[in-house]
Amino acid sequence: MSRYFLAVDIGASSGRHILGHMEEGNLKITEIYRFANGMTNKDGRLLWDVEYLLGEIKNGMRECVRLGKIPESMSIDTWAVDYVLLDEKDRVLGDVYGYRDERTAGCDDEVYRLIPENELYARTGIQKQMFNTIYQLMADRLQRPEILRMAKTFLMLPDYFSFCLTSKKVSEYTNATSTQLVSPDTKQWDKELLQILGYPTDIFLPLKMSGTEVGFLSKEVSKEVGFDCKVVLCSSHDTASAVMALPKENGDGLYISSGTWSLMGVELKKADCGKESRKANMTNEGGYDYRFRYLKNIMGLWMIQSVRHELKDEYSFAQLCGMAKENQDFPSRVDANDGCFMAPDSMRKEIQDYCRRTGQRVPETTGEMAAVIYRSLADCYGVTVRELERLTEKRYDSIHIIGGGANAEYLNQLTADATGKKVYAGPTEATAIGNLMAQLIKAGEFMGLSAARKCVYESFEIKEYQPQQKSETVVL
């Protein structure tokens, strides 16, 4: 009889429940439930509806009962940086802000008034992004200090949902590192840094590694969903789970976790918090078993997703890729990391305005727009590869693309051409697979990460793309 495990993978635009089990040495996965997600605009503020998300988590769990496949354990991953603050009765205090909200504008200056930017990077190794939790908490301190004063517990979103299911509060390491408040040396909250910034230190719980058991479902939740199971910590930052699913036993080499964001990097055993890494805006996010995901955040498929939504989802992503290929000679490019593309009212207009400002041809058709986005992303990947090779003093012969973006065949080929590297694309459900891997290792199905990665390679289709054009020579 199969042992089932449930991955609840919640992204910024959708969530899904995926059941996994082992069959003849291979990992088999089945999506059993999917739901929409997105920030709500409330009086100009971009917020998360955590009650809605919790309700959808439970709805998906009920599908296990309907299917007669009760999981032995479950785990939840989400995006990074966003959090809830709880009062003394464990009630959510105030609104739960989304990372695209503009409330952090100017908060970096206040942080650097208390600790210089170079010192902050040296002690955390996390790249500056205005949505990082460190700046969000500064916005709380400046804009709603009463909320911060009343707070008794700080929880990242996946930890909050696990708490709602079990009544147990546990904080997971990988997602916590995205806050820019964790020491890469101690692998715990930097309490001295918290004090420097004026944040209450007693609301932060000790950090636990993936594989830690949170607890069983509470009696109330068990009754609601119709079964009981253990809740286990996965690498709850979705990219950390995705990188776990690299189909390569030793995990070496370049990767792109491709989705709404493109996270491009390598795995390191020790964080690189040096001056050159800071200048390149590289980050050292925590990974499974205290590895470090040395990477750069790139805007990713958010741009094409936004354009698609503006067109009322008239075209599939495969169709948009095809249209981009038909317009591949359209010459204009944009900087995919420019802040103007973070949350524009209209992505199409923002791209057109960028091209006007920079004296380039303005894309008018959907195909031209898609061509600009995909080729700009590939160019950005090419630049980032050269940065990574310079900073790590290594040459890499291939790139593994994991996550939903691995389905974008045209972009995969552009990536091979722009980087001069062989591209391996897959698995597409990398985040959910990594979530399941943490549970399966905990359950004794795998002896460790290397064995689990070997299983991923053998269980899922991996497509290969060879560079067809000569890329720019890399000089280290």
pLDDT bracket for residue 475 (50, 70, 90): very low
pLDDT in tens, 130-145: 999 999 999 999 999 9
Q: In whole numbers, what is the pLDDT of the chain averaged over residues? A: 95
pLDDT in tens, 401-447: 999 899 999 999 999 999 999 999 999 999 999 999 999 999 999 99
Query: Who has greater pLDDT, 251 or 115?
Result: 115
What pLDDT sits at residue 476? Answer: 27
Cα–Cα distance for residue pair 213/233, rounded to 1 Å: 6
Q: Which of 108, 140, 238, 379 is catalytic?
A: 238
For residue 455, pLDDT over 50 is answered with yes
Between the alpha carbon of residue 51 and those of residues 58, 79, 203, the distances in Å are 11, 17, 22
Mean pLDDT of 67-83: 97
For residue 474, pLDDT over 70 is answered with no
- Cβ(257)–Cβ(9) below 8 Å: no
> Taken in order 4, 173, 100, 145, is the CA torsion positive or negative?
positive
Q: Give the phi and the psi of residue 23 in degrees, each rounded to 5.
A: -145, 110
For residue 23, pLDDT over 50 is answered with yes
What pLDDT sits at residue 46? Answer: 96
Mean pLDDT of 310-324: 94
Query: Which three-class secondary structure state does DSSP give residue 469?
Result: coil
What pLDDT sits at residue 204? Answer: 98
- Cβ(45)–Cβ(95) below 8 Å: yes
Q: Are the folds of 4-232 and 238-426+461-476 the same? A: yes
> Taken in order 54, 56, 58, 60, is the CA torsion positive or negative?
negative
* CATH architecture of the domain with range 4-232: 2-Layer Sandwich (3.30)
What pLDDT sits at residue 127? Answer: 92
| Contacts (Cβ under 8 Å, ≥6 apart) of 7 | 17, 18, 19, 20, 29, 74, 75, 77, 234, 432, 433, 435, 436, 439
Q: Indicate the angle between helix axes 366-392 and 409-419, nearest 10 degrees.
A: 40
Structure tokens at 384: 């980032």
For residue 371, pLDDT over 60 is answered with yes
Pairing outcome for strands 230-232 and 71-77: parallel
pLDDT in tens, 36-56: 999 999 999 999 999 999 999
Mean pLDDT of 251-276: 92
pLDDT bracket for residue 469 (50, 70, 90): low
pLDDT in tens, 280-295: 999 999 999 999 999 9
For residue 470, pLDDT over 90 is answered with no
For the domain made up of 238-426+461-476, the CATH class stated in words is: alpha beta
Ranges 12-16, 66-70, 149-153: which has the least confidence: 12-16
What pLDDT sits at residue 374? Answer: 96
Q: pTM of the full predicted structure?
A: 0.90
Catalytic annotation present for 289: no
Cα–Cα distance for residue pair 107/95, rounded to 1 Å: 18
For residue 473, pLDDT over 70 is answered with no
What pLDDT sits at residue 471? Answer: 47
- Cβ(148)–Cβ(140) below 8 Å: yes
Closest CA to 51 of 62, 37, 41: 37
Where along the chain do its domains lie? Answer: 4-232, 238-426+461-476
